[in-house]
Amino acid sequence: MIRVLLADDQALVRAGFRALLDSAADINVVAEADDGAEAVRLVRSERPDVVLMDIRMPGTDGLAATERIVTDPDLSGTRVVILTTFDVDEYIFEALRLGASGFLVKDTEPEDLLQGVRVVARGDALLSPNVTRRLIADYARRPRRPEPDTRLNELTEREREVVALVGAGLTNEEIAERLVLSPATAKTHVSRAMVKLRARDRAQLVVIAYETSLVTPGWFD
């Protein structure tokens, strides 16, 4: 059973999400919060597997709450998915950089919502290829860091290739097919890269991929 916490300041939105999620046999909504501070408190008491977190909430917003959750070692088993009104907005990159495992648009199809919760609960990132391309393009317009980025120095060439493909939104199976590997080998490379880069999950690998220019606009068109 996947345990979910809903954090949104609109009661109607929470009610709609709860009704849909509770209709699935493998998902259970264990708590609701109407602001970020309450969400953090409830995560600590309920220990959900997945938090669906609205960004724009009064008081402590979703970004601050996400950072508190993902930086707490006691909450390492909880994954945060950002809820947003728009497909990509100004806060998404920052949420991913802070440690969110992906995001969902609030008007997503019901089955996509359920599948998204399942994807994140098993440790994958909830980022589609076309969305990661837009995020990469957005990041490319930002000022570059003046100092050289040395985070990739620990990776082998194959691990760099794999991280770049993760950054383009590919699954382990798609990476295996592209690099002519077994899915198990691709998964091993992803896991080793996450350990070396101290990435919480695949979404963090995506962020690192375009922060270090492993992936650039047009690279995977």
All domains of the chain in start order, with CATH: 2-126 (3.40.50.2300), 147-212 (1.10.10.10)
Higher pLDDT, 201 or 109: 109
Residue 221 has pLDDT above 50, yes or no: no
Contacts of 85 (CB under 8 A, 6+ apart): 105, 106
Q: Is the pTM of this model over 0.85?
A: no
Question: Which 8-state DSSP code applies to residue 153?
Answer: G
Q: With bands split at pLDDT 50, 70 and 90, how would you rate the model's confidence at 8?
A: very high
Report the pLDDT value the prediction gives residue 143, as an integer from 0 to 100: 53
Average pLDDT over residues 130-147: 56
DSSP symbols for 51-84: EEEES--SSS-HHHHHHHHHT-GGGTT-EEEEEE
Report the pLDDT value the prediction gives residue 86, as an integer from 0 to 100: 62
Which pLDDT tens digit goes with each residue over 36-52?
Answer: 999 999 999 999 999 99
How big is the CA angle at 59 (ends 46 and 110), to the nearest 5 degrees?
55
Residue 128 has pLDDT above 80, yes or no: no
Lowest model confidence (mean pLDDT) among 109-118, 184-193, 204-213: 204-213
Report the pLDDT value the prediction gives residue 78, as an integer from 0 to 100: 94
Which pLDDT tens digit goes with each residue over 56-67?
Answer: 888 888 999 999
- Token pair of 8 as six digits: 């949104």
Q: Residue 187 in contact with residue 169, Cβ under 8 Å?
A: no
Average pLDDT over residues 92-116: 83
Over pLDDT 70: what percentage of the chain?
A: 85
Average pLDDT over residues 189-214: 86
Lowest model confidence (mean pLDDT) among 41-50, 107-116, 157-166: 107-116
